[in-house]
Amino acid sequence: MSANCLDRLVCVESSTTLRELPSGWPRHACCGRGGAAVSECWAAAVALAAEDPPADLRAAIAEELVALWSDLGEAMRRAGRSWSVECDGLVVRIVMLSRLSGTTSWEWIPELLLASGVYQGILRSADLTFTQPCPSRDELAARSTASQSAPRDRRYATPRRG
């Protein structure tokens, strides 16, 4: 028995299988290629992280906040533009990091969160100061149409300007 693929969770010390992954769990492309090492599954992501790392901790937090707001927008879409436990968890992280580093500018926030007032409501509830978003409804609608054709991962996207 080997620990070469994510098809099985393996106890490395004893080389015994702990359990099979459920059939619906995603499998990485490296799995099933005749024994690619597990570390190869995330090697590309590790290399990408090293390409343009944030300058300091504050920049890293700012980048993570952009990703968390985007994740919150996606979580709300999955919940039918409603609220879910996943949304609660993301808001906890957003508020904790915002209190440490400051709020994320509205240009980085998904349109759904701006148009619905979620962004503003969360920051007000947390007593965090922020600049009120100023795009018109027409601008928000145009951005929403454009963002639906854009890639989902906005971690490295440029901010939208109003």
Q: What is the DSSP string of 79-114?
A: TTSS--HHHHHHHHHHHHHHHHH-PPPGGGS-HHHH
Q: How many domains does the chain have?
A: 2
Q: Is residue 93 part of a domain?
A: yes
Looking at the fold, whether 128 and 91 belong to one and the same domain comes out as: yes
pLDDT of residue 36: 53
**pLDDT digits 0-9 by tens, 40-81:** 788 888 888 889 888 899 999 999 999 999 999 999 999 998
- Of the pLDDT bands very low, low, confident and very high (cuts 50, 70, 90), residue 146 is low
At residue 16's C-alpha, the angle toward residues 10 and 19, to 5°, is 55
Q: Is the pTM above the cut of 0.75? A: no
Looking at the fold, whether 46 and 62 belong to one and the same domain comes out as: no
Looking at the fold, whether 116 and 144 belong to one and the same domain comes out as: yes
Task: Say whether pLDDT at 162 is over 60.
Answer: no
> Cα–Cα distance between 154 and 136 in angstroms, integer?
22
Residue 30, CA atoms < 13 Å, CB-side half-sphere: 14
For 33, the domain range is 8-51
Looking at the fold, whether 74 and 122 belong to one and the same domain comes out as: yes
Which pair of tokens denotes residue 65?
A: 């906040």
Q: Is residue 127 part of a domain?
A: yes
